[in-house]
Amino acid sequence: MSKSKTPAKPIICYSVESLPTFDKVFYDNARDGMEKIDEVLVQPRDGSTFNVPAGHFFRINSIEGAQVGDLNLWNANDLNERFFSGKTRQLHASHVTTGDRLWSNLPGLRPVATITHDTLEWYGWDEDGAGIHDVIGTRCDPYTNFMLNGIDYHHCCHSNLTRALATHTEKATTEIEHHVHDVLNVFMCTGFTLDTHQYFMKASPVRPGDFIEFFAEIDLLGALSACPGGDCGSSHSDDSTPCYPLLVEIFKPSEGSLDGWSSPSPSGYSRTHGV
């Protein structure tokens, strides 16, 4: 019998229609007249942490030059709950934009942040199948770099995020490194090649003035690395590319705009696993 590929039509794995829809009116009302209360400048080839109370907004801004950022998010009150890029990818898409949510790992599985504005939303998908802000890559890291190139490089996003979290928690990097997780690749332009389905990157279209904005659904601790790849148009995990800082801004919502809103609860699953 000859082999043949299934003629069946693809079906979307998850019935996401049952998720709460993006309440644009609610978020627009909260961001109308919001007030900036803090900012953190992330230096090139380095990382920094920032806190965002539930119900506040934060923006990641491109300043000075085209630059990609690697974002980690934790429950500020429990580092064991953190952003789950894999499930976010399954629930939304390989790249995220306005209206999409960033979900937390099991057993919490709740939206920890909602994207409320994205100046690069216009990009959509290009002829190579690339998009912006992916949840498919992990983060550049010194272990993969060592495996492939045999050298120690200390300013990969994984190390930048690790140092930032170690500084924030006042713990040794070896104690907290395991909390660093798969990222949201902010401003990065990526996809899978159409022929071999390999992960690729191309120069990001981000320019100073562009930003992506999030609503914190729970109390968040964030960490952002300004990737050593710069705009990720040529290489990463080295010092050969021009790199620029990224600016994180924190905003308090407009007065009274959150009346009736409450932070989402962790998953209601019983956790008995059939035992």
What whole-number distance in Å separates Cα of residue 57 and Cα of residue 59? Answer: 7
Question: Could you tell me which stretch among 14-22, 73-81, 134-142, 195-203 binds Zn ion (CB under 5 A)?
Answer: 134-142
- Kindly state the number of chain residues that form the binding site for Zn ion, as judged by CB under 5 A: 3
- Residue 31 has phi, psi (to 5 degrees) of -90, -15
User: Of the two residues 120 and 140, which places its CB atom closer to Zn ion in the complex?
Assistant: 140
Does 232 interact with Zn ion (rule: CB under 5 A)? no
Does 157 interact with Zn ion (rule: CB under 5 A)? yes
The pattern of x and - marking residues 58 through 97 that bind Zn ion according to CB under 5 A reads: ----------------------------------------
Does 42 interact with Zn ion (rule: CB under 5 A)? no
Does 246 interact with Zn ion (rule: CB under 5 A)? no
Does 140 interact with Zn ion (rule: CB under 5 A)? yes
**Which residue from 112, 186, 206, 227 is in contact with Zn ion, where contact means CB under 5 A?**
227
Does 184 interact with Zn ion (rule: CB under 5 A)? no
List residues near Zn ion by CB under 5 A.
Answer: 140, 157, 227
